[in-house]
Amino acid sequence: MAIEFTPTPEQVDLRDMARSFAERVLRPLASDLEKLTDPWECFQRTRPAFAEMAKAGFTAGFIPTEYGGAGFGCIEFALAAEELTRVEVGVPTTLLGHGLALQPVIQFGTPEQKERFLRPFTEDATGDRLACFAFTEASGGANFDSDDPEAGVVTYAQRDGDYYVINGTKHFATNGSGWDRKGAHLYTVTVRTDRNAGAKEGLSVIVVPGDTPGIRVGRIEDKVGHRLTVQPEVVFENVRVPVANLLGSEGDGIPIIVGAFNWTAALIGAACVGTARTAFDYALEFAKSGKRLGSVPIIYHQAVGYALADIKMRIEACRYLTWRACAYLDSHADGRAEVANIAKVYCSEQAVKCVYDAMQIVGVESYTKDHPLERLLRDALVFPLYDGGNMGVRRRQLHGILCSPGYDSGLIAEDRELPFSKDMSGTLGLRHSAQNEIPGPAR
């Protein structure tokens, strides 16, 4: 029996709907809003497009059906994401940040918490409500899982009876401003609930409604690319929320964080494919028509033809790796971090190379402002840097998995799980490898 890579008729319909939506709604935004200099104005002008996205069902598509969503799997979202990001990456990134914020509730919330926190988003057909995963600290997020109580997350949640009191500042909090700059509708906040413990015992995730007193939106980042998304600073000053808003138990932060970022890791692969695909299509058409003072179009020159072939090979490899990661997430309850991280790291770095190589085919004019490849390069450059930077977080997580007892290289190919544990995070696995003999693979 063959390993199947053929989308179902329903998946094809979703892909085609996303393709049509991108051309109709996102295409007009792609170049016009790029010319705006104010990052807040850029984001504000995308609101009608996000409303159309909500009307089409994208904003609640990933929420389980029992809470009013469409229950799309990761693979369905990837098919749609490639088509959306092929045209414009900003509005789909707002959607991705929205989904990232709700994943902790979807994956780790109790039925009561899911009903209370997810239902308002499935009832929102206008896209007015935005969710934000308030994760990154003002000084960065790479060492969030440090064993040192003096390092890592410094947003604290102090228990006060039946409430937590949260104080701290988050940075690059996608969607954290909401549409009115007064805050998102909902935050899932990474906090330290034990000041004297390292991340494995001290980190937690708490759901904070956006209208809770004490939340303040600070500066809006002015970025090189992804101009149509918003990444503000969000300040929490004596924000009181019920203990009932804690996801899981105190100290469960690392599995919750990793679970949420596994979801986005696989889907970022699709965004990378969409971006690289647009660069390839432009370079291909250019090569078929441009002679560059020669007698024939440059596609007939071997160097150009080989370069295009290399770009296309990378795109196909990234697409199938993305599909594998998404299918793995949809079919496994655990052991998903390895394939998700591999997809994010590999596809993000290949996307940058694909766009740059397309620029080399076109030449120096692709480096001018308002050229489509120049915009694509600015958008692609952030893929390896955000959502858990490839060097700061993703490769380190893969390193921890490789160091864990029971790991073997056939896990993904043989569709087996290696359950995630906190020991795979931070530096604990590295200490084990230095001090103890690691057992061989468990089969």
Question: Which has more pLDDT, 2 or 184?
Answer: 184
Q: State the alpha helices, DSSP H only, in 231-336.
A: 253-289, 302-331
What total number of domains does the chain contain? Answer: 2
Same domain, 265 and 386: yes
What pLDDT is attached to residue 426? Answer: 65
Same domain, 268 and 328: yes
Q: What six digits make up the tokens of 215?
A: 């939340």
Same domain, 311 and 399: yes
Same domain, 212 and 258: no
List pLDDT tens digits, range 126-181: 999 999 999 999 888 888 988 888 888 999 999 999 999 999 999 999 999 999 99
> How many other CB atoms are found less than 10 A from the CB of residue 217?
19
Same domain, 155 and 96: yes
Same domain, 307 and 330: yes
Sign (positive or negative) of CA dihedral 163, 164, 169, 173: negative
Q: Residue 302: pLDDT above 80?
A: yes
Same domain, 262 and 384: yes
What pLDDT is attached to residue 36? Answer: 87
As to burial, measured by CB atoms within 10 angstroms (0-12 exposed, 13-18 middle, 19+ buried), residue 65 is: exposed
Same domain, 154 and 260: no
Ordered DSSP codes for 187-214 = EEEEEES-TTS-HHHHEEEEEEETTSTT
Buried b or exposed e, range 103-139, using 16+ CB within 10 angstroms: bbbbbbbeeebbebbbeebbebeebebbbbbbbbbbe
Same domain, 245 and 356: no
What pLDDT is attached to residue 2? Answer: 61
Q: Which of 148, 357, 387, 408 is catalytic?
A: 387
What average pLDDT does this structure show over 404-413?
A: 89
Same domain, 288 and 314: yes
Give CA–CA dist 130/77, Å, rounded: 18
Q: What is the mean pLDDT of the chain?
A: 92
CATH number at residue 394: 1.20.140.10
Q: What six digits make up the tokens of 151?
A: 């390092």
Give Cα separations from 160 to 43, 207, 419 (angstroms).
Answer: 37, 16, 34
Give CA–CA dist 100/48, Å, rounded: 21
What pLDDT is attached to residue 427? Answer: 53
Same domain, 276 and 355: yes
Same domain, 198 and 219: yes
What pLDDT is attached to residue 428? Answer: 46
For the question of residue 124 being annotated catalytic, the response is no
Q: For residue 441, tell me if it sits in a domain.
A: no
Q: For residue 4, tell me if it sits in a domain.
A: no
CATH number at residue 42: 2.40.110.10
* Its pTM surpasses 0.85: yes
Q: For residue 438, tell me if it sits in a domain.
A: no
Q: State the alpha helices, DSSP H only, in 332-380.
A: 337-362, 372-380
Last residue of a domain, one of 198, 219, 251: 251
Domain of residue 283 covers 254-433
Q: For residue 2, tell me if it sits in a domain.
A: no
Last residue of a domain, one of 235, 251, 267: 251
What type of residue sits at position 385? L
Q: For residue 145, tell me if it sits in a domain.
A: yes
List pLDDT tens digits, range 201-227: 999 999 999 999 999 999 999 999 999
Q: For residue 3, tell me if it sits in a domain.
A: no
What pLDDT is attached to residue 1? Answer: 54
Q: For residue 443, tell me if it sits in a domain.
A: no
Last residue of a domain, one of 216, 232, 251: 251
Backbone φ and ψ for 424, nearest 5 degrees, come out as -80, -15
Q: What six digits make up the tokens of 371?
A: 């050229």
Give CA–CA dist 253/126, Å, rounded: 32
Q: Residue 279: pLDDT above 70?
A: yes
Q: For residue 393, tell me if it sits in a domain.
A: yes
Backbone φ and ψ for 134, nearest 5 degrees, come out as -85, 90
Give CA–CA dist 303/125, Å, rounded: 50
H-helix or E-strand spanning residue 233:
strand 232-242
